[in-house]
Structures are given as C-alpha cells and as structure tokens.
Structure 1
Amino acid sequence: MSLRPLRPEDIAAARALWQATPGVGLSAADEPQALAAFLARNPGTSFVAESEGRLVGTILVGHDGRRGLIHHLAVAVDQRRTGIGRALVEAGLSALRRQHIDKCHLMVFADNAEGAAFWSAIGATRRTELNLFSLSTTSR
C-alpha cells in the first residue's frame, strides 16, 4: 500500500469509492468540477491510498487558514482494519500541521456507528456541546 496526494485525475475513482461506502454523504460540493476547485485551494492536504494499482482509500482535507476539516475518509471494505484509515488521517493531519493548522474537525452522520467507532479509536474527541447548523447560499 502506498499513499500519495489526491490529484484531479483521481476524482472519478474517489467518487466511486465514496458512493460505495456506507456513511459517506455526497452533495453538489462533491461534483468533479467542485472537487477540482477544492484541491486547487487546498494543495497537498488530501490523499489516496493505492494497493496493486487500485485506489483503496481516500481522505479529503482542507482548511480555512484557522481550522482544518476532514470532509471524506473512506477505505474499501476489503481493505479495512489494515491501517490504511489511520495512515490517511495521519497524512492529512501532518499536511495541516505543515501549514500551521493546529486543530481539525470532522462530521460523522449520527447513524454511522462504524465511523464513530473508528474516530473514537484513533483519539478523536466527540463534541457533544455543539450543534451543527447549515445555511444554503443558493436559497436566499
């Protein structure tokens, strides 16, 4: 298994993995053109894992100059529990550290028990004192 930065030419394979992964929610922000723009704004912070020429994991990471945000972490079902997820997280966090970002947030769907268990197992802190709100920029 090898890790490398996520490149625009990986977007189709990454989207296919996300679509096949329970607990990953996709939106218009995950369309190819939007993802290419995201990668251009956040160079070197997102990664893929490859095994035998196949994309088997991804992490999509960005920041706003103050806090990082992990948008998607996914590992192919047949490759789980091999350390790929942990390696992808460490690569993303290291990239943020190099850009002087000292904290990273992520969101997990409330019904994604497997995802919540993974994040807890690697030391992520569940924030129960916060509520998440969303606003659409297009419906105003």
Structure 2
Amino acid sequence: MATIRPFEPADYDAAFALWEATPGVGLSAADERGPIERYLRRNPGLSFVAMEGDAMVGTILCGHDGRRGLVHHLMTVPGERRKGTGSALLRAGLGALREQGIDKCHLLVVGDNRAGLDFWRAAGAVERSELALLSIMTDAKP
C-alpha cells in the first residue's frame, strides 16, 4: 500500500495534475496554487498525500472552522482504488481533525461521481437530504 504523509506546498504541481486527470474531481480558481497554499497554511497538518515511491497516487485536503471539518479532493489514481489507499488517506485526515477537537466533517461530491458516492457511503458518510447547499460570492451585494 502507498505511504501516507502530510501534504506540503511543494506537492502542489503533482496534486493538481492528479486532480485534473481524475474524472469526478471538480476544479475551480480556488484550486490554483495560491489558494491551495493558503489553505495548507491555515490548516497545518490536516491534509495528506499518498505516495508510491516518488509518484503521488492520492490526496486529501482537510480543514475546519473550529466547529466542523471539511474534506476536499479525496482521490486516488485508478490503479490504487480498492487497495485501501483512499481509506488510509481518509483515516489520516479524520484522525488529524479529531486531534483538534473536530467530531464531524462535511464534504461535497459531484452528483454524477458514482464511484465517489459509493466510497463515501461505504465509509459511513450520510447524505443530508434536509439541507440545501448554497454558495455566495464574497463580492455579492445583498
């Protein structure tokens, strides 16, 4: 199985290449180098990568607001699936959040990402049908 280690800013190029090449991973301007480096600085020790030798084969970004955790971009390359790598990344992220007193995490899965939805359901994640996800830009004029 792959080795799990903390996600460092120097890992960005390899991680972005994986995200870009992986169906079901939604990317936006928030996934550019600057925002990801800011995220890692704001949430030190909570995000991880999976490595097979020198090759990155998976990622998880985790952070929190002091109350709830948020998981982004938990993914593995197709050849690592069903080998426990995704679960190992998830255990690392959840464990790091738990050490900081976070007992619940939220996550987003692209609606047509069947493999992702299946993984999360098998891991124990529960869909929250009573909630609606809304987004608002910080420059909105309410």
Shared topology, TM-score over 0.5? yes
Q: Deviations over 1:101-125 (max 9, x none)?
A: 1100101111111110010011111
Q: Deviations over 1:23-42 (max 9, x none)?
A: 11111111101100100000
Structure 2 gap ranges (5+): none
Q: CA deviation at 1:138?
A: 3.2
RMSD between aligned alpha carbons? 0.9
2-structure distance, mates of 1:71, 1:124: 14
**% identity of equivalent residues:** 57
Determine whether 1:137 maps to 2:142. Answer: no
Match of residue 3 from structure 1: 4
Match of residue 80 from structure 2: 79
Q: So what's the TM-score if we normalise by structure 1?
A: 0.97
Q: So what's the TM-score if we normalise by structure 2?
A: 0.96
Query: After the TM superposition, which parts of structure 1 deviate over 3 Å for at least 4 consecutive aligned residues?
Result: none
Q: 1:115 corresponds to which letter in structure 2?
A: G
Determine whether 1:54 maps to 2:58. Answer: no
1:111 match: secondary structure:
coil
2-structure distance, mates of 1:86, 1:51: 15
Determine whether 1:108 maps to 2:109. Answer: yes
2-structure distance, mates of 1:47, 1:36: 13
Q: 1:84 corresponds to which letter in structure 2?
A: T
Q: CA deviation at 1:52?
A: 2.0
Match of residue 43 from structure 2: 42
Q: 1:68 corresponds to which letter in structure 2?
A: G
Q: CA deviation at 1:139?
A: 4.5
Match of residue 93 from structure 1: 94
Q: 1:129 corresponds to which letter in structure 2?
A: E
Q: Deviations over 1:38-69 (max 9, x none)?
A: 00000000000000210000001110111000
Match of residue 117 from structure 1: 118
2-structure distance, mates of 1:76, 1:139: 37
Q: CA deviation at 1:79?
A: 1.2
Q: 1:11 corresponds to which letter in structure 2?
A: Y
2-structure distance, mates of 1:113, 1:130: 20
Q: 2:53 corresponds to which letter in structure 1?
A: E
Number of matched pairs: 140
Q: 1:29 corresponds to which letter in structure 2?
A: A
Structure 1 gap ranges (5+): none
1-structure distance, mates of 2:69, 2:22: 23
Match of residue 14 from structure 2: 13
2-structure distance, mates of 1:115, 1:71: 12
